[in-house]
Chain A
């Protein structure tokens, strides 16, 4: 059973546009929600993370929006650049599992110049 559901599977955005990737979860015990970026042949790199006590977190061009009541969170990439073309994964973790992360299936983002 997929604990974290991610959409869309693929996304094509024009340079300068906004990329939006969505994730949903069922387990209300989750209390940590990171986003990872992965380039081909590389391991996932931690981009940004949020805890459920805040509704939004921004770091540079990357913003996480969190909706606790809807059990959804999303990644917004502002002013998308060709260098942002990669696979993005959302994940979730809960305190009782001491750092185990449950990942979504990923979104392949392509930014056209």
Chain B
């Protein structure tokens, strides 16, 4: 049973560029949440997707957007990258009806130079 997978593992981008991160949820899960984890901090909620729609959103600017596909996989897009966007981006999957029980992937380490 595959767990949550994310790609790529690491990414280096230049300020102002755009980036797309990908996530495949744990088998059987239909809800995907994205979190940003700055170095030495706890994860911060970005948004959550269910049935291909953004169901709720944290305090992140519109530069952060996402998408969920019919197979429940998801993408996180960040436009106009800032140095402060450098972080570990985590995807967590869960099953609607038990959305709290979230299982995290290994994350994508984004470095903006």
Chain A interface (Cβ < 8 Å from any Cβ of B)? 4, 6, 32, 34, 36, 41-46, 49, 89, 91, 93, 97-106
Q: Nearest residue in B to A43 (C-beta to C-beta)?
A: B104
Contact B42 A32 (CB under 8 A): no
Contact flag A98-B102 (CB < 8 Å), given A43-B90, A105-B42, A106-B40: no
B interface SS class: strand
Chain B interface (Cβ < 8 Å from any Cβ of A)? 4, 31, 33, 40-45, 48, 55-56, 58, 90, 94, 99-107
Given contacts A36-B104, A101-B45, A103-B43, 12 further A-B contacts (CB under 8 A): A46-B103, A89-B42, A98-B48, A98-B99, A99-B99, A99-B102, A100-B45, A100-B56, A101-B33, A101-B102, A105-B41, A106-B40
Distance of B107 from chain A, by nearest CB (Å):
5
Complex Cα gap A49–B101 (Å)? 9
Contact A89 B43 (CB under 8 A): yes
Distance of A42 from chain B, by nearest CB (Å):
6
Contact flag A101-B100 (CB < 8 Å), given A43-B90, A44-B43, A44-B90: yes
Distance of B75 from chain A, by nearest CB (Å):
17
Distance of A43 from chain B, by nearest CB (Å):
4
Q: Which residues of A contact B40 (CB under 8 A)?
A: 105-106
18 residue pairs from A and B, CB less than 8 Å apart = A4-B42, A32-B100, A34-B100, A36-B104, A43-B4, A43-B90, A43-B105, A46-B103, A93-B100, A97-B56, A98-B56, A99-B31, A100-B33, A100-B58, A101-B33, A102-B45, A105-B42, A106-B40
Contact B42 A104 (CB under 8 A): yes
Distance of B96 from chain A, by nearest CB (Å):
8
Q: Which residues of A contact B102 (CB under 8 A)?
A: 46, 99, 101
Complex Cα gap A102–B102 (Å)? 12
Select the residue from A4, A32, A100 with max chain B CB neighbours within 10 A. Answer: A100
Q: Which residues of B contact A44 (CB under 8 A)?
A: 43, 90, 104
The 4 nearest A-B residue pairs measured at CB: A99-B99, A103-B42, A43-B104, A32-B100
Complex Cα gap A101–B55 (Å)? 14
